[in-house]
Amino acid sequence: MNQDTDLAFLQYCENDDLRVLCDILTFDHDGKIRYSESLSDCDSYLTCYPDNMRGMWQELASELQKFGGNSILNYIRDGQGPSYEKILRCVCKRMNVEDLDMNDTVEDIEQKLLITVSAKAIGQLGEEEIRSVMEECPIPVLEYSKQGLVAALMTLRVVNQRLFVMVIRTVMNVTVEALVGRGVASACMGIFSRGMSALCGPFGWLLLTGWTVWDLMGPAYRVTIPAVIQVAYMRVKYLYMSDSKEIAA
Amino acid sequence: MMKDDDIMHPEDRKALQMLHKIPYIDSVCRSIIETEYEGLCRGENLATMLKASSQSVPRVFHLMKATCQRIGLPMPEVYIYNDPVMNAYTYGETSPFVCISSSSVERLDDRELMCMMAHECGHILCKHVLYNSVVRFLHELGEEFGIISYSLSGPIYLALQYWSRRSELSADRCAAATMGEETFQRMTMKIACGLSDIGCDPYQLVRQAKEYHGHENHSLWNKIQQNCRMAFYSHPQAVNRAWEIDRWKNSYMYKKLRRETQE
Ligand SMILES: [Zn+2]
């Protein structure tokens, strides 16, 4: 499969984040192995999983493209496997991400996707939980509300990437905590046995944004959507890390 | 203590997940085994084979005990049967037992024999016994009474054979993790050739595997020929077993399990 330059940054990502991506591609939300995965029997998986994940970034990228190509984008496949950007746009359409532009870069699209997903998660949080997110992050807003938090996220994306990553990560953590607290996550705890890694990723958000809707999307999206969200999250983190010097906190 | 998740080959895991989706399969299989088969086999073992204990063939008994301790599995009954072919099998669900051929006991050294035992324990650990027994039951039922015609059972039979080959790879992982991959390779070499003296190079089969894969990929015809032959095997070829463990020895899980079961 042709290597997509949009996924080349994976080789610089943190081990734990890559592991979450790998778990999403190989296991479903209750810890069962995916029938169509082809990662877990490849040589690089055997040598790299779980503590040298950078060594298998190319296999991760190919597997993501394969899932996107085989299951979602059959109709536009040209024998080469779809580009990551095509998969990403397809996921955004499915997740009802608004104001996408034809000229948007992959980074732009991904960040809009992250905001949409976070906004959905925030919508499910209670007042106390919103307050704790906003207090944990030094967000310069007056209004402690859902709308305030979403608005802050949209602003931060442009003005302060460091804080943008921080808020997204906090929303994610609070969401997971809320899930565990309400017992919503208990049905999906299978994944916990795999070192908790995947629940700390997009699964947490997606659970709270409505699992029933999620299930209706069909098996293909259940792999590709969380995988793409995880990649989006990893890229924001990577971008912030690589030019953190330029950004004023 | 070893867990089935640690050693299960992904293809084996997928096949088992698939089997679990069939409604009531577990209880149906269990009752077939309990009512039809387990008692029958145990009676036959007692009648025709030699049961190992601390007094009779104590070497086998103690090696089995040590193997089970390393894996963290309750010790099954062990029987020895008279056969020049080096082999072993396990059977039973509620109280499984392991049968080992006399030639294996004679020609394998202590470590290799433990490795063979660990392979059988791997089947017990992964709960292969349940489905494997049913596969055999259906097969015999079909053969004897013609209840299931070959046209009907053919595809199912081949699918089950495919799973059966994958399940061997899981059991091999258990063997390698318990006794080390080098011992596993020696054991596999001895079983492949039937000799007790195989020289001092344990990796001959791994090299042969590469040669074999080269042969297989040489032409499409070779590939089809080899695949058709393999479809009817219940066990993977010796070279592929050697090759699979040679890949797996680089894995995190193998290294972790070796540290835990280290002698
Ligand atoms: Zn076996």
A9-49 pLDDT per residue, tens: 999 999 988 988 898 888 876 678 888 888 999 999 999 99
H/E element, A180:
helix A161-182
Which two structure tokens, joined as six digits, stand for A64? 């993501």
SS3 call for B98: strand
Quote the domain boundaries for residue A162: 5-248
Give residue A75's pLDDT.
46
Tell me how close the Cα of B250 comes to any Cα of chain A, in angstroms: 5
Predicted TM-score (pTM) of this structure: 0.83
- B10 touching A (Cβ < 8 Å): yes
Give residue A93's pLDDT.
86
Residue-averaged pLDDT of chain B: 85
Bridge partners of B100, per DSSP, are: B80, B88
Q: Which residue has the higher pLDDT, B12 or B135?
A: B12
Tell me how close the Cα of B207 comes to any Cα of chain A, in angstroms: 17
Q: Which residue of A has its CA nearest to B9?
A: A41
Give residue A189's pLDDT.
39
Chain A residue numbers with beta carbons less than 8 Å from the beta carbon of B166 are none
The rounded Cα B21 to chain-centroid distance in angstroms is 24
Interval B60-88: pLDDT, tens: 999 999 999 999 999 999 999 999 999 99
Give residue A178's pLDDT.
67
d(C-alpha B181, C-alpha B202), whole Å: 10
Give residue B141's pLDDT.
67
**Which of A41, A48, A53 should we substitute to test contact with B (largest number of B Cβ atoms within 10 Å)?**
A41
What are the extents of the domains in chain B?
A: 4-262
Give residue A202's pLDDT.
57
d(C-alpha B128, C-alpha B153), whole Å: 20
| Number of folded domains that form chain A | 1
Measured CA distances, B215 to A77, A230, B223, B235 (Å): 34, 42, 8, 20
Tell me how close the Cα of B254 comes to any Cα of chain A, in angstroms: 9
Give residue A245's pLDDT.
47
Could you tell me the distance, in angstroms and rounded to a whole number, from the CA of residue B262 to the centre of ligand 1? Answer: 23
A41 with B250: Cβ contact below 8 A: no
Q: Enter the DSSP assignment of A72.
A: I
Interval B191-233: pLDDT, tens: 999 999 999 999 999 999 999 888 877 776 666 666 655 555 5
Instruction: Kindly list the residues of chain A whose beta carbon comes within 8 Å of any beta carbon in chain B.
Output: 32-33, 35, 37, 40-41, 43, 46-47, 49-51, 193
E strand spans, chain B:
50-51, 77-81, 88-91, 97-101
d(C-alpha B51, C-alpha B60), whole Å: 10
d(C-alpha A176, C-alpha A185), whole Å: 8
Ranges of chain A with pLDDT below 70:
1-2, 29-30, 70-81, 141-142, 176-220, 243-249
CB A72 within 8 A of CB A7: no
d(C-alpha A243, C-alpha A235), whole Å: 12
Comparing CA positions, the residue from A40, A27, A50 lying closest to residue A199 is: A27
SS3 call for B80: strand
How big is chain B, counted in residues? 263
